[in-house]
Structure 1
Amino acid sequence: MQSQELNNENESSLKPSNWNSHYIYGFINGNPMQKISDKEAVSEIIRNTAGLQGFIGIDSIFHPYYLVNEKGATAWDLAWFSIYLKDQKAITEIANNETAIVVESENLGLEEFRIWPNDSVDPNKYEQYQKFVPFILPYLTYSENEESTPHWAKMVNAEIELQGHAETYIENFNNVFSQFVTGHIMTLGFGTFDRENPDSLIEKFTSFYEENIANR
């Protein structure tokens, strides 16, 4: 019986639909498409967000308009399949929280800036996003491992309860990013990509800008 349950779990982890597409997002005053040369730094950033569960990361930050290729495949899709096609056992090990893998971004073919139907952060149309340039650091986790309250939310809530804000937790991300990318980094938060409503990702940037930056 236990062996059967294990096999079912392994089969479940080999379905891409059972993995969630998460991200850390923010603004950078610089190039939003930068490789992070130290994979351990990428792992540190993601572990600070996802906790101890296994994950698939990518060694680059991206502008949102780089995240989807001409066929509609996302950075998350491409990262997952890049591992699946090479080593299905690795997918299972990640799902079982035995390991984590950081994929090299240059192998994903996401070099083209493709403006979505929602062009609200197009820097050529909205000049403010030439200075406050949106960036995303994508990663995936196995959905069966996820708790109702994500690790990052627990950390934020604990810090708010202790000192009334979560600046220390957020600033840690800025500090690590700043060691490996050029340009001032402003980490804004965390989210899950909804392929049925991709505009929700863009709206995080526009809402923050309008509410916190536009009129200051």
Structure 2
Amino acid sequence: MQQKEERFIIPHKGNITKEDRQRQKGHKSAILWFTGLSGSGKSTLAHAVEEKLFERGINTYVLDGDNIRTGLNKDLGFSAEDREENIRRIGEVAKLFVDAGIITLTAFISPYRKDRNFVRNLVEEDEFIEIYVKCPLEVCEQRDVKGLYKKARQGIIKNFTGIDDPYEEPENPEIVVETDKMSLEESVKKIIDYLENKKII
């Protein structure tokens, strides 16, 4: 039934292109994909980078894991299948933002390489910037900002990344930020420098 219905879906192509929108805004658009363990500092870093970009008049938006799960993805749990669907939806939304000419920052654990690569393949080669927010599990667990590791250790939370569910480290990320060794200011600067060197901003 679904295949038959798909025959009637014909995407409409507008006259205003992504390049037109980028030219109007004065900068390129891209996805800054922050990935890492819970407590590694993804959201803090993504919002700090957004502030710096915003100060420079650059059009930005942050898609944050917990925020998205209160709306768009509130019907999803944390099984492998639901995690995959979570990232698929975010990837499609981020792709729309790129088309709109906006630098989109996403802060999601996104533990599986295949899901991150799926999003990478949605956009052009230079439009997906994987930022590995690297931090040892023991440090993330010491921080335990949301008290999630404690609940995972107690068995209250199941399928928790780093405890009873795997995290697959990025193999070739564009940027690695080690938040247990670098200050927030140093981390932000490293990302801004990358964007400048690649002439995205």
Higher relative contact order (CA 8 A, sep 6+): 1
**Normalised by the size of structure 1, how large is the TM-score?**
0.27
TM-score (norm 2): 0.28
Judging by fraction of residues, say which structure has more strand: 1
